[in-house]
Structure formats: C-alpha cells, structure tokens
C-alpha cells in the first residue's frame, strides 16, 4: 500500500486529522508528536487539547505529563475535563454552584456523560427538568451504557410499560444508587 504524506495536505485538514487521531487514542498523541517537528506543532494546537477525551486516557501513567495534560485540557475548555472537575466539585467537595456550572458547560458542549449527569443532578436538586425534554428513553439507555455505571441492571422490558413519572423516579433511584463520582480520576487539586 502506498503511503500518503500528511504534510502535503492543507494545514486545516492536517489539524482535523490530528484532532481525530488524538480523540481516538491518547498514545497516538505522543507517537504523533515524536515523528517530526511539524507533527509536534500540530499536536500542540489548542484545538487538539480541547477535543481530547479524558475517559480514553491511560490513568496508569502518572507524573508531570499527566498534570500538564489535565491543566492544558482544562485551560482549553475540554468538555471531559470540565465534566470531571464539575462532578468532583459537586459530589466530593460540596461546591454545588461551581460544580453544576462546570457540568452544564460540558453538557452544552455536547459531552453525553455530562448531559446525563447534569440532567439527573438538576432533577434531584433544582427540579427544573429543562434538560429532560430532549431525552428519549433510547438516548438514556445509550448514555447509561456509555458511562459504564450499571444503571440498566433491571429488566428493561419493565421500563417500557412505565409512565414517564415512574420512569424518571426509577432513573433517579438508579442514578443515586449506582453513580460514583469519577473515582478513576485524580483529585483536581493535584492537577496544579
């Protein structure tokens, strides 16, 4: 198979390719940076850190690179970083206003886990329900599976026969029972 030199593409397309590679695999970010100076400058672009998904990060790695990565992602408004920090602030530190604001920013950026967590948290504490209007039951099922929170361990056929009020009561109960506030991520204070 013939190789295609990425550097022959227009700079905008190069940036899109790098963002896509980084979004799929954290290890590829450092491999890409190590190839040449041009790739290093592309990989250090602000948009790359804004699009990075921290839930794909190999948390077994520690040290300077981890703190640098987390600080850089947060500075660029990365949705997964905003979500992790928001969950920590709301559920671990009892900083409700700041935590809810960060979760809302991540949800508004289109981060699915944040949308679900923000909607459930708002329902529990504010009961405004605005974010529930856009949720279909299939969408909630998809988010639950994506989050690996085991929210769907009851027989889903029973949920099909429920009225909306009963459905959301069940969802809130499962959320409170099974939600663990980003336990796999380091404490935000260590990011500095």
Most confident region among 61-70, 113-122, 126-135, 169-178 by mean pLDDT: 113-122
Look at residue 59 and tell me whether its pLDDT is greater than 50: yes
* The token pair that represents 79 in the structure block: 């949705």
Conformational region of residue 33, where left means phi above 0, alpha means psi within -120 to 50, and beta covers everything else: alpha
Among 15-24, 25-34, 153-162, 169-178, the range scoring the smallest mean pLDDT is 153-162
Whole-model pTM over 0.85: no
CA–CA dist 159, 176 (Å, integer): 18
Most confident region among 73-82, 150-159, 166-175 by mean pLDDT: 73-82
Q: Which residue has the higher pLDDT, 110 or 177?
A: 110
CA–CA dist 24, 152 (Å, integer): 26
Share of residues in the chain with pLDDT > 70 (%): 60
| pLDDT confidence band for 107 (50 / 70 / 90) | very high
CA–CA dist 67, 192 (Å, integer): 7
Three-state SS string over 92-110 comes to HCCCHHHHHHHHHHHHHCC
Look at residue 96 and tell me whether its pLDDT is greater than 80: yes
| pLDDT confidence band for 101 (50 / 70 / 90) | very high
pLDDT tens digits for range 142-165? 555 544 333 444 445 455 666 776
Which residue blocks in the chain are alpha helix, DSSP H?
11-24, 26-35, 37-43, 46-51, 64-75, 79-87, 96-108, 112-125, 137-147, 156-160, 164-178
CA–CA dist 86, 54 (Å, integer): 14
**Residue 133 near residue 185, CB atoms below 8 Å:** no
Give the three-state DSSP class for 127: coil
């Amino acid at each position: 198979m013939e190789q295609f030199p990425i550097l022959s593409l227009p700079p905008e397309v190069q940036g899109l390719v790098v963002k896509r590679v980084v979004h799929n695999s954290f290890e590829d970010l450092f491999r890409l940076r190590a190839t040449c100076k041009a790739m290093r400058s592309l990989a250090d672009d602000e948009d790359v850190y804004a699009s990075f998904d921290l839930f794909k990060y190999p948390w077994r790695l520690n040290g300077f690179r981890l703190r640098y990565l987390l600080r850089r992602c947060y500075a660029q408004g990365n949705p997964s970083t905003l979500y992790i920090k928001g969950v920590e602030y709301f559920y671990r530190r009892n900083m409700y206003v700041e935590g809810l604001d960060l979760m809302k920013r991540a949800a508004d950026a289109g981060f699915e886990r944040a949308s679900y967590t923000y909607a459930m948290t708002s329902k529990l504490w504010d009961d405004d329900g605005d974010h529930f209007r856009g949720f279909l039951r299939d969408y909630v099922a998809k988010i639950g599976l994506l989050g690996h929170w085991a929210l769907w361990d009851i027989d889903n056929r029973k949920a099909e026969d429920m009225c909306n009020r009963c459905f959301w009561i069940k969802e809130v109960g499962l959320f409170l029972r099974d939600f663990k506030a980003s336990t796999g991520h380091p404490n935000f204070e260590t990011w500095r």
